[in-house]
A and B are shown apart, each in its own frame.
Chain A
Amino acid sequence: MKKRAFTTITALGLTAVMLAGCGSSSSSGDTAKNDNTAEETTDSSAEMTDEERIISAAQEGKVGNWGLGNEYEIQALLTKYGQSTDYLVEDFTMDGFDDDSITLASAMTYNELGLVKNDYEGGYGYGDSVGIIDMNDEGVAMLEDNLFCTKEFAEANPNTVKAFVAASLKGWEYACENPEEAAQIVYEAGSSVSSDHQAYMASEVKKLVETDMNGNTVTEIGKMDEDAMQQTLDLAKQYIKLDDSAAAAKLQTLTLDDIRDTSYWEAATAGDFGTPEKTDIKVQMKWLPQCQFMGYYVAKAKGFYDEVGLNVDIISGGGDIGETTAVQNGTVDFGVTWVSNLISADAAGMDLVEVAQIYQRSGLVLVYKK
């Protein structure tokens, strides 16, 4: 009885092996081959220029990005070097980079790059053996984290918007002056990311808030730089591909005035606003609770929102219901998103407007093993 059972198991097991991929037998050969080529490229890549690196990775089909509206800068870069705009999907881990199935991987300076380099919890520990290609240097940078709401909300609650912007900017200012304290605040506010990584992230985010695309220092936090905004919009028009022809047509007609309104930021920085119309406010982050959004967490923890009479609830993101949708359907009042995502949402018929631009330069880089 038992012997029979075991033969059946072996039979089942064999089927499972067959199901698991007829490739497994040939795969060992494949990996061996890959290892060889990897070694060869590591030898020669020391002298490779960024351009050569981009071209070779693109032609092997080993450029990675997350997609979902994060890909436009990479596509602009690939186009710049005459390559096709296809990329492999990174599944939010850097495992693909780690196992060499992606040789040129997208990473945010403040997040994934830190994980790749550092060897704290969750890190990959590559240290200085990796190099980066910076979107700002390549001239394909697009602006990222901003602060937005719907036009309808802004018109109905101008003082709330101004007060919220003012208090948030104060939070950002404080966070950039005291990145370590900010990291601790975010860590305690329910981050499930290690404190080491939060500290790293705070120091990197500070650079994005205080430096513009050309590397100049920015003193006015949250300002909407005309040139950078225009560059973002131009690249968005070129690389956001929409299947809905009506939305695609609308995208091409968008101007800066459709997507941002500087008046709230100007009033906020001048301290020129009255009592908020709406005081219970929800703000949706673009991602998980982390120092990417430290300004808001700091403003809440330090009581900056209370000072202007706002009771603010920070909703963390990272889910499939985007921040643009949540703001548009009124479940939250403000949101943090990338400018390109706001542009595509407005193209689709949403009614969103940017009221402050926190990040002054692109935080996106391509990382490669030297």
Chain B
Amino acid sequence: MSVLKRLSKSKYFNTVLWIVILIIVWEIGATVVAATKRSPENILPHLSGIIESVVSKDTINGSQTAVQMVLENAKATISRALVGFGIGTALGFVLALFMSRFKTVEKIAFPYLMIIQMIPILGMAPLIFAITQDISKSRIIIAAILTFYPVATNTLAGFKAVEKEKHELMISYAASKFQLYTKTMIPSCIPYFFTGLKISAPMAITASILVDTLQGGIGLGCLLSQALKGAMSRYVFWQIVFLSAFIGIFSFLLMGIIEYILCPYKRKGNKQEE
């Protein structure tokens, strides 16, 4: 108990320390920029300026303040990212399962999974757009496509990493394929699965923001490009940069928390290291 307490305490302290370091580095940069550039807020504004813009009550588009606008757009993006992430994760896991179960599937599918990742969204988007005839469906599908690959690769790696002995032991117990998967393969690939999730959760967010820019409408990506292109306070852009980083980190941490709750052995592992 006391070990856990100490750990949480020091972790908290360390996080704060890192935040402080980052703030100092940022502020030094901002001070230099402010002294040398004509429009410092476009290059590297002081954090105080960004915070000011967050609490500012000035309306940007008549009805909303900067932060209200950012949050409204963030809601749209996050909900699309969530759906895309859900679909992508399910797809990635099922594919990994298939690939580990049927070697042939792996051999056929794996190279193409990678190739699909390589096709720039710009080329893919008009195709998907033409199929769905709906920009918001296209956005979700593209977000899913961009997120399923890390899940699939990592989970597959997890299946492969199941130690031979365990595998053989199960077979010697005359375990059925189903049992083999539920008792050995799936539990032991969970850490890998979560590694995949930790990579793809922030990716789902960034992908969702990226696909926002495919067409106008509501979404963080749309607002981001508007903030750059239009007559809008550049602080809106900076708010989005920070918010998206925050959401990304939060999604990463969330996966860690879920893993922590679901996988008791991880906790044991950590203690051993101590």
A120 to B60, CA, bound (A): 12
Check if B229 sits within 8 Å of A92, measured CB to CB: yes
Task: Among B43, B61, B229, find the residue whose CB has the most chain A CB atoms closer than 10 A.
Answer: B229
Check if B130 sits within 8 Å of A329, measured CB to CB: yes
Residues of chain B in range 178-224 having any CB-CB distance to chain A below 8 Å = 213-217, 222-223
Check if A320 sits within 8 Å of B232, measured CB to CB: no
Q: How large is the interface on B (under 10, 10 to 19, 20 to 34, 35 or more residues)?
A: 35 or more
State whether the Cβ of B226 lies closer than 8 Å to any Cβ in chain A: yes
A191 to B214, CA, bound (A): 18
The binding surface of chain A is classed by DSSP as loop
**Residues in chain A near residue B69, CB distance under 8 A:** 192
A187 to B59, CA, bound (A): 12
**Residues in chain A near residue B126, CB distance under 8 A:** 321, 325, 329
Question: With A95-B39, A98-B38 given, is the CB distance from A317 to B216 under 8 Å?
Answer: yes
B210 and chain A: residue at smallest CB distance: A320
Question: With A192-B60, A192-B61, A318-B216 given, is the CB distance from A288 to B231 under 8 Å?
Answer: no
**Residues in chain A near residue B37, CB distance under 8 A:** 99
**Residues in chain B near residue A301, CB distance under 8 A:** none
A333 to B38, CA, bound (A): 45
Check if A122 sits within 8 Å of B233, measured CB to CB: yes
Check if A331 sits within 8 Å of B129, measured CB to CB: yes
**Residues in chain A near residue B125, CB distance under 8 A:** 320-321
A330 and chain B: residue at smallest CB distance: B133
* A275 vs chain B, min Cβ distance (A): 26
Check if A194 sits within 8 Å of B216, measured CB to CB: no
State whether the Cβ of B8 lies closer than 8 Å to any Cβ in chain A: no
The one of A95, A120, A321 that contacts B215, using a Cβ cutoff of 8 Å: A321
B130 and chain A: residue at smallest CB distance: A329
State whether the Cβ of A124 lies closer than 8 Å to any Cβ in chain B: yes
Q: How many residues of A contact B (CB 8 A)?
A: 43
* A290 vs chain B, min Cβ distance (A): 7
The one of B36, B133, B223, B231 that contacts A194, using a Cβ cutoff of 8 Å: B231
**Residues in chain A near residue B222, CB distance under 8 A:** 318-319
Residues of chain A in range 311-347 having any CB-CB distance to chain B below 8 Å = 315-321, 325-326, 329-331
**Residues in chain A near residue B269, CB distance under 8 A:** none
**Residues in chain A near residue B230, CB distance under 8 A:** 111, 122, 192-193, 197, 288, 290
A120 to B222, CA, bound (A): 22
Check if B62 sits within 8 Å of A187, measured CB to CB: yes
A123 to B206, CA, bound (A): 28
State whether the Cβ of B118 lies closer than 8 Å to any Cβ in chain A: no
* A300 vs chain B, min Cβ distance (A): 16
A102 to B223, CA, bound (A): 26
B58 and chain A: residue at smallest CB distance: A121
State whether the Cβ of B169 lies closer than 8 Å to any Cβ in chain A: no
Check if B60 sits within 8 Å of A194, measured CB to CB: yes
Contact with A along B95-123 (1 / 0, CB 8 A): 00000000000000000000000000010
**Residues in chain A near residue B223, CB distance under 8 A:** 192
State whether the Cβ of A225 lies closer than 8 Å to any Cβ in chain B: no
A187 and chain B: residue at smallest CB distance: B62
Check if B61 sits within 8 Å of A122, measured CB to CB: no
Contact with A along B28-60 (1 / 0, CB 8 A): 000000001111001100000000000000001
The one of A122, A190, A320 that contacts B231, using a Cβ cutoff of 8 Å: A122
Check if B226 sits within 8 Å of A288, measured CB to CB: yes
Task: Among A317, A318, A319, find the residue whose CB has the most chain B CB atoms closer than 10 A.
Answer: A319
Check if B232 sits within 8 Å of A122, measured CB to CB: yes
* A151 vs chain B, min Cβ distance (A): 19
State whether the Cβ of A57 lies closer than 8 Å to any Cβ in chain B: no
State whether the Cβ of A213 lies closer than 8 Å to any Cβ in chain B: no
Check if B233 sits within 8 Å of A320, measured CB to CB: no
Check if B133 sits within 8 Å of A122, measured CB to CB: no
A287 to B126, CA, bound (A): 17
* B212 vs chain A, min Cβ distance (A): 8
Check if B42 sits within 8 Å of A95, measured CB to CB: yes
* A369 vs chain B, min Cβ distance (A): 11
A200 and chain B: residue at smallest CB distance: B231
**Residues in chain A near residue B79, CB distance under 8 A:** none
Check if A122 sits within 8 Å of B234, measured CB to CB: yes
B213 and chain A: residue at smallest CB distance: A319
Check if A316 sits within 8 Å of B214, measured CB to CB: no
Interface on B for A, CB 8 Å cutoff?
A: 21, 36-39, 42-43, 60-62, 69, 122, 125-126, 129-130, 133-135, 213-217, 222-223, 225-234
* Ranked 9 nearest A-B pairs via Cβ: A316-B216, A197-B231, A122-B231, A319-B215, A193-B230, A92-B229, A329-B130, A319-B214, A192-B61
Taking A190-B61, A317-B215, A331-B135 as known contacts, 9 extra A-B pairs with beta carbons closer than 8 A to each other, sorted by chain A number, are A98-B38, A111-B230, A120-B231, A121-B232, A187-B62, A194-B231, A319-B225, A321-B215, A329-B126
What are 15 residue pairs bridging A and B, where the CB atoms are less than 8 Å apart in the complex? A9-B21, A93-B42, A98-B39, A99-B38, A114-B231, A115-B231, A121-B60, A190-B61, A193-B226, A194-B231, A288-B226, A318-B229, A321-B135, A330-B133, A331-B133
